[in-house]
Structure 1
Amino acid sequence: MMQHTVNSLVGFTVGAIDDEIGKVEEFYFDHETWTIRYLVVKTGRWLSGRKVLISPTALKMPDWKNKVFPVNLSKGQIQNSPDVDTEQTISRQQEIELYEHYTWQHYGSRGAGFYGGAGVSEQHTNQQSSDPHLLSTDDVTGYEIHATDGNIGTVEDFIVDERTWSLSFLIVYIGNWFPGKKIILSPKRITEMKLHDSSLEIDLSTNAIKDSLGI
């Protein structure tokens, strides 16, 4: 199983079947399943730098050496895709329009969702609402990690499983205890995500973490 950090994937070139599309800028993931749902790609001059969303299901075999993500899409398909403002929260209706445009299978059509979880369904009763489970890796970077008895550090990066596109671990900077020290933390340890104050609650104590590090 090959794993990569999110930061190492930022800047990868995304290549359509007929030309280059642009560069990966960030990722959107479902924080219930901790699986990447979209690559956010900043296009070049041909689309005036417009940002587009590409599902990992559109990817072909990555060229890790040359840092290229080939996709089974044409530039025409991407140019004519629904315009999504990546600076705003993405609505379920916008996701449905993307899936219909690219003829990707809807998440909800597989029952448990494309990557697990609720997913996107054509019959969703509130299609105009935003998807509360969809977050940007850029936005979550910097979130504080709260143990059961205190703050331990901040999210610095994520580790991605290239086979499933799941975020297997968070990389947490704990410089307040040990300058320059980082740890990896499984999302399974997270008990609550507090969007209002940009923090994650975990089920470990500060002593348990220090003991595991020998601090």
Structure 2
Amino acid sequence: MVHTIYGLKGYTIGAADGDIGSVSDALFDDQTSLIRWWVVDTGHWLPGRKVLLPPAAFSPPDDASKRLPTSLTKAQIEASPDILTDKPVDRQIEEAISRHYAWDPYSIGDVPAFIAPWGTAAIGAITPEHDEKDAVAQELEVEAGENVDPHLRSAAAILGYYVNAADGEFGHVEDLVVADGLNRLTHVVVDTRNWLPGRKVVLPIKKFKAVDWFEQTIATEFTRQQIENGPEFDPGKPLDEADAEKADHVGYWRL
């Protein structure tokens, strides 16, 4: 099954000792498409709070029950630094969360952490002194300012952006496809209802050449004709097997 941002939203997060909430969003680097954090709404467990968890914290999704398991405990997650739900994530907050989980969000040796397969980027053991928020973590729970990373973006916020082909507008972003390790955005699902009613096509994210965050548009190098001849999106079918001949024709899978 192909996993997407919208499709995973609402999945229950199951900690080692009980449920803690549900998937709310993913924060990714707009220069690399790597997912740095998953945003978890802690719901009734910790009302009004959201927490960040790294991709390597999770086991593969259980699609039948719509659950996303993690080996972290509720105490470990509760003790993590807070984030402001209506503000960008400050770099210092990221650093504090990384220290809390003994997790490097940028690399594992010479290998980017977010492209490691399941289980290879394991969360470090939480030491006893991390079970409670320290003074530094509490001080970092302040309004984000100049220290915000301008390349850390909300995946959910992009849904609905208009998509421009090389020769004109042809739809809007319906969803974003996530790699198997929940660590990278790989494709953009485009709803072409204003041009090809009832069709949804999938484009490799590397084929997008520009994003206008102010105008809320993204542009691809493909023409309308190339997209029209390409494969439709089928969430139940692996992308590398979907209409391979058509995909090769427009270069969809030549990443």
2:149 to 111, 121, 131: 131
Aligned partners of 1:47 and 1:22: how far apart in 2? 9
User: How high is the sequence identity, in percent, across the aligned residues?
Assistant: 36
Q: Deviation digits for residues 31-84 of structure 1, max 9, x if unmatched?
A: 222222222111132311311111111113433322221212111121111111
SS of equivalent to 2:164? strand
Aligned partners of 1:142 and 1:99: how far apart in 2? 31
1:208 to 181, 205, 226: 226
Cα 1:96–1:113 shift into 2, 3 Å: farther
Q: Is the 8 A contact 1:147 1:204 kept in 2?
A: yes
Q: Which amino acid aligns with 1:62?
A: P
Asked if 1:86 corresponds to 2:85, the answer is: yes
| 187-196 vs 25-34, which moves further | 25-34
Cα 1:59–1:132 shift into 2, 3 Å: same
How many equivalent pairs are there? 203
After TM superposition, give the deviation of residue 149 of structure 1 in Å.
Answer: 2.2
TM-score norm. by structure 1 comes to 0.84
Cα 1:189–1:52 shift into 2, 3 Å: same
Give the alignment's Cα RMSD to 1 decimal.
2.3
Q: Is the 8 A contact 2:173 2:191 kept in 1?
A: yes
Structure 1 equivalent of residue 213 of structure 2: 195
Q: Deviation digits for residues 7-39 of structure 1, max 9, x if unmatched?
A: 221111111112211011222222222222222
Q: Is the 8 A contact 1:12 1:23 kept in 2?
A: yes
Asked if 1:170 corresponds to 2:188, the answer is: yes
Structure 2: give runs of 5+ residues left out of the alignment: 116-144, 232-245, 247-255
Runs of 4+ in 1 over 4 A off after TM superposition: 211-214
Aligned partners of 1:180 and 1:107: how far apart in 2? 39
- Mapping of 1:38-57 within 5 angstroms? 38-57=37-56
Structure 2 equivalent of residue 5 of structure 1: 4
SS of equivalent to 1:130? coil
Structure 1: give runs of 5+ residues left out of the alignment: 117-126
Aligned partners of 1:108 and 1:162: how far apart in 2? 18
Decide which structure has greater strand share: 1
Asked if 1:150 corresponds to 2:190, the answer is: no
Q: Which amino acid aligns with 1:27?
A: A
Cα 1:65–1:207 shift into 2, 3 Å: closer
Aligned partners of 1:57 and 1:209: how far apart in 2? 34
Aligned partners of 1:11 and 1:211: how far apart in 2? 33
Q: Is the 8 A contact 1:92 1:128 kept in 2?
A: no
Asked if 1:76 corresponds to 2:94, the answer is: no
Q: Is the 8 A contact 1:30 1:133 kept in 2?
A: yes
Aligned partners of 1:74 and 1:167: how far apart in 2? 27
After TM superposition, give the deviation of residue 147 of structure 1 in Å.
Answer: 1.5
Q: Is the 8 A contact 2:21 2:45 kept in 1?
A: no
Aligned partners of 1:152 and 1:10: how far apart in 2? 26
Q: Is the 8 A contact 1:93 1:128 kept in 2?
A: no
After TM superposition, give the deviation of residue 164 of structure 1 in Å.
Answer: 5.5
SS of equivalent to 1:100? helix
SS of equivalent to 1:47? coil
| 2-11 vs 194-203, which moves further | 2-11
SS of equivalent to 1:197? coil
Aligned partners of 2:56 and 2:98: how far apart in 1? 11
TM-score norm. by structure 2 comes to 0.72
Q: Which amino acid aligns with 1:136?
A: S
Cα 1:109–1:182 shift into 2, 3 Å: closer
